Chains A and B, each alone.
Chain A
Amino acid sequence: MASLPSESSRAARASRAPSGAGRRARTRSEPFEFKLSQLPVYFLLLVGALVSFTPFFYMASTSLMTLGETINRRLVPARPQWVNYQRAWTEADFALYFRNSVVISAIVILGVLVTCTLAGYAFAKIRFPGREIIFMVLLATLMIPSTVTFIPNFLLIRGDVIPWGSWINKLPALTVPFLSTAFIIFLFRQFFQGIPDELWDAARIDGAGHLRFLTAVVVPMSRPVMMTAALLTFVRTWNEFLWPLLVTTTPTWRPLGVGLYTFITEAGPQTHYLMAGAVITILPVMVVYFFTQRQFTEGIATSGLKG
């Protein structure tokens, strides 16, 4: 197969994921010994960690300050102002945005899992004319930047091209375009190709069709890859910005990212509330990442290299 086309955005790059294979060669259980000569190594690593982490620390710390503290060069608040979160949550509509983001992500994850499992299975295990070509064409869409697609897609969503009425400010505008992505299909196809054909032969002798085999045998075997797909889709959907900005002019279905942006443009110097909003936006992703980070990073690393 030709190389996987470079993907449409950095966000898409986050979604390069593992096919289960290709662990790093190093063993983890080597006996550890501390050498003084390694001190510079640790020092540099710590500097890197500090730079990487400072904005997060700053965000969390500032989100708990009073307005006065934010402009007085305080490193940490004297007393954490949890009320900032309450304010952001209720008065700045972050509760609504949060709910919207959760609903949107859930629908997109579910849709992606269903459509991409089916397609990935077909591309891996069912023979039909045009299979390779169709797959290649789908993969090619990963190269297309959203800067090119957003204008025609906006017309589509308004119902100008296909007369299905305007979806602006409605849930389908935020979910339907994302219900399938070539990248996750690619991911599933890779994984399903590794499932031995003998299993399918056995299932067929028992009278099962493809759908039955897929749901009863393949899907239960594929939990890790499904998990990865769900994770990557979640992060990608949660972090989406340009498109929701375009199609949500009212708060009804506005997701967190756009909500935070409108807050930035309206809040002015209220840095503490703003940072509370940023924490609310970041936290779910952080929590998910924290609990699944090995799967996440190693997945991106191994598949990024296959590219």
Chain B
Amino acid sequence: MTAERATRRGRPRRAWREWLTGYAFILPAVVVIAIFGLFPIAYAVYMSLYSWRVRQGAFIGLENYSRTLGHAGGALAFFGGLLLVLVAHGLWTDAFGGGRGEARRYLQAGGALLLLASGVSVALGWHLMAQSGDRAFLQGLVRTVYYGFGSVPIQIALALVLASLLFQRIRGREFFRMLYFLPYVAPAVAGAAVFRAIFSPRPEFLANTVLSLFHIPPQRWLFETKPLTEVLFGGVLHHLGVAHITGFWAGPSLALVTIILFGIWTFTGYNAVIFLAGLGNIPQDLYEAAAIDGANRVQSFRHITVPLLSPVTFYLTVLGFIGTFQAFTHIYVMRQPAVRDAVDTASIVIFDTFYKRNNWSLAAAQSVVLFAIILILTLYQSRLFGRSVFRG
């Protein structure tokens, strides 16, 4: 409206001044964000193509990437597979959207097949990469996935319970909400420092004291590199004649589990607050109608709350996974020098490649790979969020 009026009174000068004012207003912000937010992406890619240890060296093309990912075909299969999931999902939802009869069935079958193919492709690709790629980094990715699967579902389940409890007509809702949110607001360094003390390997500290109440011997927590399955079932397994479970299925180390606990402690409250808002958006008459039809509380939770909250759940899940791929501070603070191999997630490995190994271009290449993964996750989110997650 303002612009139209401006044009009527002699376009050139007016419009010009308006434009200039606009550009002048955004200039400071754009300069800062362009230099410290946008430029680094391009520069990280540029760096990754050189040999660069503190000082810039020779151009080496994709060598850093082949060092990181090992097998080129494997990497292609891996990332291609991740992207294929999106196509499969597209076919699947199209099947429900428009198609009818035969066509619909074909689309669905195609989607399912593609999904299967993408799974195989990801697994195969990973297998090839793992043989010759950068061990520290690829292991870091595996640990990141553990970390995500260990913390995100639990966070979300707990948060959903807390939120639905809080949503009832109870006294002190604000108070509880404030308490649950507290860990999220606190500086991660300080929180991690406290966790280091609580989960100290010495028997007198809090976590081990609590265990001793249940007659469980003290654990070494952040110092424990043994995988969880062995800590929990080590004795039983020995009886069964299984000495060790190795590889992926051995699960995360107890040290990583402790870090996962920190993640749960921090983010459950955040997720609960988001769920609370989601609960507020569910029309109350649905519950009333269900009550008239004779549904009890558990039934209406199962058949109304859970399905209607599923977009929020999905959103939080993807965001949680993106968060784990970026998690840095608390892991960095909680890791003990002796057990680094057991807890370092991808972002920590990148930091070490840069900071300790001083291989800047390799670190840059690794960070570009990590960014690609995060980007794919973000794509999942924007593609899938809010669609097709409703059931029933």
Which residues of A are in contact with B by a Cβ distance under 8 Å? 2-3, 5-6, 8-10, 13-14, 24-26, 30, 32, 34, 38, 41-42, 44-45, 48-49, 51-56, 58-59, 62, 71-73, 114-116, 118-119, 121-123, 125-129, 131, 134, 137-138, 141, 143-153, 155-156, 161-162, 176-177, 179-182, 185, 197, 200-201, 204, 209-211, 235, 238-239, 241-242, 246, 256-258, 260-261, 264, 271, 274-275, 277-279, 281-282, 285-286, 289-290, 293-294, 296-298, 300-302, 304-305, 307
Contact = CB atoms under 8 A, between A and B. Distances in A.
**Interface range for B:** 35 or more
A144 B329 contact: no
A304 B197 contact: no
Contacts of B184: 14
Interface of B: 1-3, 5, 18-19, 21-23, 25-26, 28-30, 32-33, 35-41, 43-44, 47, 158, 161-162, 165-171, 174, 176-191, 193-198, 200, 202, 204-206, 209, 265-270, 273-274, 276-278, 280-281, 312, 315, 318-319, 322-323, 325-329, 332-333, 347, 350-351, 354-355, 360, 363-364, 367-368, 370-371, 374-375, 378, 381-382, 385
A13 B204 contact: no
Contacts of B30: 119, 134, 138
A298 B189 CA distance: 25
Nearest to B186: A282
B329 to A, nearest CB: 4
A304 B274 contact: yes
Contact of B35 (A5, A156, A185): A156
A208 B71 CA distance: 64
A200 B204 CA distance: 67
Given A32-B169, A52-B180, 18 more contacts: A3-B385, A13-B270, A24-B280, A41-B170, A44-B165, A45-B162, A52-B182, A56-B182, A59-B197, A119-B30, A131-B22, A134-B26, A176-B32, A197-B2, A241-B332, A282-B190, A282-B191, A289-B182
A256 B189 CA distance: 9
Contact of B32 (A152, A179, A258): A179
B273 A297 contact: yes
A151 B47 contact: yes
A257 B187 contact: yes
Contacts of B177: 297
A115 B21 contact: no
A257 B328 CA distance: 13
Contact of B19 (A32, A129, A246): A129
Contacts of A51: 265
Interface of A, secondary structure class, is helix
Contact of A128 (B18, B28, B188): B18
Contacts of A138: 29-30, 33, 37
Contacts of B325: 145
Nearest to B175: A49
Nearest to A16: B274
Nearest 6 A-B pairs (CB), nearest first? A128-B22, A122-B25, A152-B40, A301-B277, A119-B29, A152-B43
Given A118-B26, A156-B36, A304-B277, A58 B198 contact: yes
B367 A55 contact: no
A91 B267 CA distance: 34
Given A44-B165, A52-B180, A53-B179, A307 B315 contact: yes
A56 B322 CA distance: 27
Nearest to B278: A305
A41 B2 contact: no
A2 B364 CA distance: 30
A127 B16 CA distance: 10
A198 to B, nearest CB: 9
Contacts of A302: 277
Nearest to A71: B204
B19 A128 contact: yes
